[in-house]
């Protein structure tokens, strides 16, 4: 038990990042656990406990700051639930090599989003029927991604709300945390029913992520993000490269050669 207390610090670091940027801390937790040899289902399901704890803390803090669009967040959050069920079921038999390879692409997408998020322009938009249909499909897909990889769907929801719906970034990231609460909770339930998580490890991650969520929500009010974005993006891209390398070395026949 004592030798696993470091997971509290990992959860805290992931919670601060996840709360500030709205992507969920899984992009930090899952690569670390994967590099340490955790099976994909354990890494993803443990990470979802941290994501749930982080989203609860962040939602509490952001609601006090009156920065959450509750009506939209509740609707999109509920729409993620069918996807999270499917994502958990699909992750059951996933091989480590394929998981690492696919997660490498998720990390690259996350790095691109983090680096470019301040450049995303938001203009007031009238929601069209096409955008509503797209939002429904995106929510389902984000649910799959959230539960399969254990990362939350923030890299989908924040651009969707900012670019597609014209929401300001300072409201989109907090609203994303409310959506992730639904996605992570349903994912935690299904993964637990399937017997995937290590509950002791997940508990330590959740403790750190909760505190990190409170800290991140507070820091998001006045921190200058640019240097942090660059640093995190570089670290994530390096992690993605390591995942690609490990995947190819672990399965030399991945491409049929």
Q: DSSP for 96-138?
A: HHHHHHHHHHHHHHHHHHHHHGGG------PPPHHHHHHHHHH
pLDDT band at 198 (very low <50, low <70, confident <90, very high): very high
Query: Which residues have C-beta within 8 Å of that of residue 94, sequence separation ≥ 6?
Result: 40, 41, 148
Tokens of 48: 């979802």
Counting every residue written for the chain, the total comes to 257
**Domain residue spans of the chain:** 7-250
Q: Could you report the per-residue pLDDT of 210-253, keeping only the tens digit for each?
A: 998 888 877 766 666 566 667 667 777 887 888 788 778 765 44
Crossing angle of helices 40-64 and 70-91, in 10° steps, is: 170
Q: Could you report the per-residue pLDDT of 23-55, keeping only the tens digit for each?
A: 667 888 988 898 888 998 999 999 999 989 888
Inter-residue contact 160 to 117 (CB < 8 Å): no
pLDDT at position 176 over 60: yes
Q: How far apart are CA 187 and CA 84, in angstroms?
A: 5
Q: How far apart are CA 192 and CA 26, in angstroms?
A: 17
Lowest mean pLDDT of 23-37, 41-55, 65-79, 108-122, name the range.
108-122
Lowest mean pLDDT of 17-31, 72-86, 105-119, 120-134, name the range.
120-134
């Amino acid at each position: 038990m004592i030798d696993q207390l470091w997971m509290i610090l990992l959860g805290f670091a992931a919670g601060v990042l996840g709360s500030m940027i709205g992507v969920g801390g899984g992009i930090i937790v899952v690569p670390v656990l994967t590099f340490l040899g955790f099976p994909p289902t354990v890494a993803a399901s443990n990470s979802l406990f941290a994501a749930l704890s982080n989203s609860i803390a962040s939602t509490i803090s952001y609601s006090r700051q009156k920065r959450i669009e509750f009506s939209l967040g509740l609707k999109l959050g509920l729409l993620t639930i069918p996807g999270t069920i499917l994502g958990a079921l699909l992750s059951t038999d996933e091989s480590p090599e394929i998981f690492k390879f696919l997660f490498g692409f998720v990390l690259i997408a996350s790095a691109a989003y983090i680096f470019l998020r301040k450049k995303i322009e938001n203009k007031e938009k009238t929601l069209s029927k096409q955008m509503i249909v797209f939002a429904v499909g995106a929510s389902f897909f984000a649910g799959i991604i959230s539960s399969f990889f254990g990362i939350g769907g923030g890299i989908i929801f924040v651009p969707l709300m900012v670019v597609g719906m014209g929401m300001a970034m300072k409201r989109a990231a907090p609203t994303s945390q409310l959506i992730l609460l639904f996605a992570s909770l349903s994912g935690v339930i299904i993964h637990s029913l399937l017997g995937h998580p290590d509950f002791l490890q997940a508990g330590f991650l959740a403790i750190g992520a909760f505190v990190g969520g409170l800290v991140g929500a507070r820091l998001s009010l006045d921190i200058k993000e640019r240097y942090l974005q660059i640093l995190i993006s570089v670290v994530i891209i390096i992690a993605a490269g390591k995942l690609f390398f490990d995947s190819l070395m672990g399965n030399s026949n991945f491409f049929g050669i």
